[in-house]
Amino acid sequence: MKEQFRLDNQLCFRLYTASRLLTQAYNPLLSGHGLTYPQYLVLLVLWEKDSQPVNDIAKRLLLETNTVTPLLKRMEAEGILTRTQGKKDARQMIVTLTKKGRDLQDELACVPETVGSAVMCKSVNRDTVPALFETLDGLIKQLSQR
């Protein structure tokens, strides 16, 4: 067997597995609030800056608007946010948190620390996280230019 085809030599497999397992770590923390991990990401974007166009949210999450729109519709049906036509451009949908969506920030305040603690190990710790972020940001930037 050629070494290049060994599973253990695939960066993509390690990234995929780490991503999948990390997402699983969020599930028990979010499911009690009726949220999925992608919905949590939308909330993070809106907690940083509320009342944003769908396009801006999609861009921030590095997703297509046709991926984000159904997610936003479900969140709207659950009373977490509203979608309204833009005042300057009626084609643009503005997404705004409801009180329920804003209150979730306090309810989920323990999530970052809980998940952060779960991933800490010998090679991932407070000292190595900045370099890990830099490495992953470089990889994301390289791959998003394709």
Alpha carbon 130 to its chain's center: 18
pLDDT digits (tens, 9 = 90+) for 80-131: 999 999 887 778 899 999 999 999 999 999 999 999 999 999 999 999 999 9
Which of 3.20.20.80, 1.10.10.10, 3.30.420.40, 2.60.120.10 would CATH assign to domain 36-98? 1.10.10.10
Element of type H or E holding 3: none
Phi, psi of 73 (to 5 degrees): -65, -40
Give pTM, 2 decimals.
0.92
Amino acid at residue number 80 = I
pLDDT at res. 88:
79
Sequence ranges of the domains in the chain: 36-98
Helices (H), the chain: 11-31, 37-48, 54-60, 65-77, 99-107, 111-119, 129-144
Closest CA relative to residue 139, chosen from 12, 6, 3: 12
pLDDT digits (tens, 9 = 90+) for 6-22: 999 999 999 999 999 99
Per the listing, tokens 């979730």 go with 104
